[in-house]
Homo-oligomer: A and B are copies of this chain.
């Protein structure tokens, strides 16, 4: 059994707040500053160019990829790191369409995170071969998979509602119909017991700055199923995905396996921060973490219900159908969230009316959930959002 009081002590949390926004940006793991200082002073500072070999910088994407692989149920050697999630979506989608050249439909849902859809739009335009991005409601996805579907591209957990897709069932359905499946794990990795291998996902991508606590703008990951890894032709054929980057050949030849999904020079400082952050997960059982998250989000839901707060649950009522967050609809949600944050309960808001709370058991426990419910009660009872200070629209909260 994990000691969640002990894992909480691994984080440098802002004082006096209940941080329920780890689904947007995970807090600072205490191990990060010293590790980064070490990389700066003892590696970059002392080894300079020699750091690429002597400090293992060049291998960091594969080594850290293996750490992520364990957390998402992927086999070792099937994940690499780098770039941003948007770029990894592009790589996965380009590769998947290339593997299924006779079909033209990319099927996704209206709950997908917009950048996945935007990247698909850009790719479709570049390809110029009549591909179509077909969006359906999340609950209509299974029905919509048919013999025209080239690729099913979904985010497992809806960033607004927390609704969780059945990855295994939808992937099986896609495969039956002759389609491939790409899963975006941005709101799953580090929070849920994901098993991409068992689900048979063809590609999986994700960011590492949410539940994995890698820091603002931390590098993304990509998993390619071993069956495809030596076959896919990279659209972003960069030198570090080359079979022999330091031969400086004029022609591209892809590296073996997932390494071909590397593009440019690895972001060593950002990878160092992520590597230190991942220590928090050493020995953590993801099924236990997921179960704990459900317990806590149920506590939140029941607390809101017990107090009769005028919030409408936006997340599925069944905790097994939710990711590691709970969301409520409230017409004055933006201003109410500002008032809540001012009182030390940090969630966030997503248009048009969603108040969103990340449930992160590694550093959030019953006390924070209870504080959140109680503060919500106070904010809503006193209509604190009527205060003009809380009504200003900000770009990010």
Contact = CB atoms under 8 A, between A and B. Distances in A.
Contacts of A350: 248
A84 interface: yes
Pick the most buried of A51, A215, A269, A397: most chain B CB atoms within 10 A of its CB. Answer: A269
Contacts of A32: 40
A379 interface: no
A264 B84 contact: yes
Given A36-B40, A87-B264, A122-B236, A25 B12 contact: no
A49 B397 contact: yes
Given A239-B114, A265-B207, A395-B58, A49 B25 contact: yes
B125 A127 contact: no
Interface stretch (A161-169, A249-257, A295-303): A249-257
Interface residues of A, number: 91
Interface string A82-125: 11111100100010000000000000001001110111011101
A235 interface: yes
A47 interface: yes
A198 interface: no
Nearest to A219: B267
A381 interface: no
Pick the most buried of A41, A57, A219, A264: most chain B CB atoms within 10 A of its CB. Answer: A264
A90 B33 contact: no
B263 A84 contact: yes
A33 B40 contact: yes
A273 B37 CA distance: 12
Interface in A115-165: 115, 117-119, 121-123, 125-129, 135
Contact of A269 (B14, B21, B248, B270): B270
Given A90-B236, A220-B264, A49 B118 contact: no
A158 B236 CA distance: 23
Contact of A237 (B52, B58, B122): B122
A307 interface: no
Contacts of A227: none
19 contacts: A14-B45, A14-B48, A27-B45, A28-B40, A44-B216, A52-B216, A115-B240, A115-B264, A119-B237, A121-B251, A122-B234, A122-B235, A122-B236, A126-B126, A135-B250, A216-B268, A220-B264, A246-B395, A246-B396
Given A40-B215, A57-B217, 19 more contacts: A14-B46, A25-B44, A25-B51, A27-B45, A51-B216, A53-B394, A84-B238, A87-B238, A87-B264, A114-B248, A115-B264, A117-B251, A118-B251, A121-B237, A123-B126, A123-B235, A125-B235, A126-B126, A217-B271
Interface of A: 12, 14, 19, 21, 24-25, 27-28, 32-33, 36-37, 40-41, 44-49, 51-53, 57-58, 82-87, 90, 94, 110, 113-115, 117-119, 121-123, 125-129, 135, 207, 209, 215-220, 233-240, 242, 246-252, 263-271, 273, 346, 348, 350-351, 394-397
